[in-house]
Amino acid sequence: MGMEKVILPKSLEGKTVLVAGAAGFVPSHVCELYVGLGAKVIGLDNFVTGTEANLTGLKSNSLFDFRECNIFESLPSFSGENIDYIFSLASPASPVDFSKIPMDIMRVNSEGTRFLLELAKEKKARFLEASTSEVYGDPEVHPQTEDYVGHVNPIGPRACYDEGKRFAEAMCTVYKNFHGVETRIVRIFNTYGPRMRPDDGRVIPNFINQAMNDQDISVYGDGSQTRSFCFVTDLVQAMHYVMHSPVDTPVNIGNPDEYTILEAAKFIIDVMGSNSKITHLPLPKDDPKKRRPDITKLQSFSDYVPQVGFREGLLETVEFFKSCV
């Protein structure tokens, strides 16, 4: 794909970046990156899954402006304000949320995304949609490339999120083609790191919590299903590359290092020096058997290489979880 490599801006002074979902795990790190580059950052959140604690380091910064709102009901007024970049990162994404707040998830990815796209259209802002590897469903192609259209159950337990994100991608494409909005789409693969919710329900928080307390580690099925774990700062760097690239079609972002769930469980026990044993539980419905991003496309236009290894990233995440207890 002989594309020129993206040169990232050294400073974004004078620019304004809107981050929807700012109090969430990944978005709070995005806010910090852009404040660090000198941009004014406007954060939106309704604290359904995000927390005030994630904004602690930002609240005292004069470049950060937080506005509490529910983006699928209405946005605050931005009249007279310039907005250059919009990050659509507001959707809850944890499996525990799929059964608790499915309607919120569907609405934030439909009505919420539309409100943000309308704002992008009005402000002539560049818009980045945080989609997900879940759009591939339980994939029949491995590793997953962006041209794979997925194997998704539209009425399954994960459908509110899978189909919500597929709809958000379709809406971005319509706004790009019919309204000329500059859109970017990233498909995020498994991400971990400080500020994850300890009750997130995903593999890493579950295993760390259990290992921290020397409890049995619950592995679903035989543990042969795979995941690829990306540390949050690497993921945010990948997102940054896509936002500043000319690429307006979906881009996988994550770390292609692949582990079986059983390997991950043993690794976490080892890294934490835990006395936990492994127990096996039945596999949940529609649980993907394989997850690994093909990031050839991302690397064709950027110098992106994941910097944080699994051990180093886990140790930082463990420290964060200990601080939450």
Structure tokens at 228: 């690829």
Cis-peptide, bond into residue 282, ω within 30° of zero: no
Q: Which of 34, 85, 136, 161 is catalytic?
A: 161
Helical pair 261-272 and 310-324, crossing angle rounded to 10 deg? 70
**What is the rounded distance in angstroms from the CA atom of residue 156 to the CA atom of residue 163?**
10
**What is the rounded distance in angstroms from the CA atom of residue 88 to the CA atom of residue 22?**
10
Q: Would you give the distance in Å from CA 32 to the centre of its chain?
A: 15
Q: Is 220 noted as a catalytic residue in this protein? A: no
- For residues 226 and 213, the answer to whether their CB atoms sit within 8 Å is no
**What is the rounded distance in angstroms from the CA atom of residue 295 to the CA atom of residue 143?**
9
In the block, tokens 């002989």 appear at 2
Catalytic residues: 161
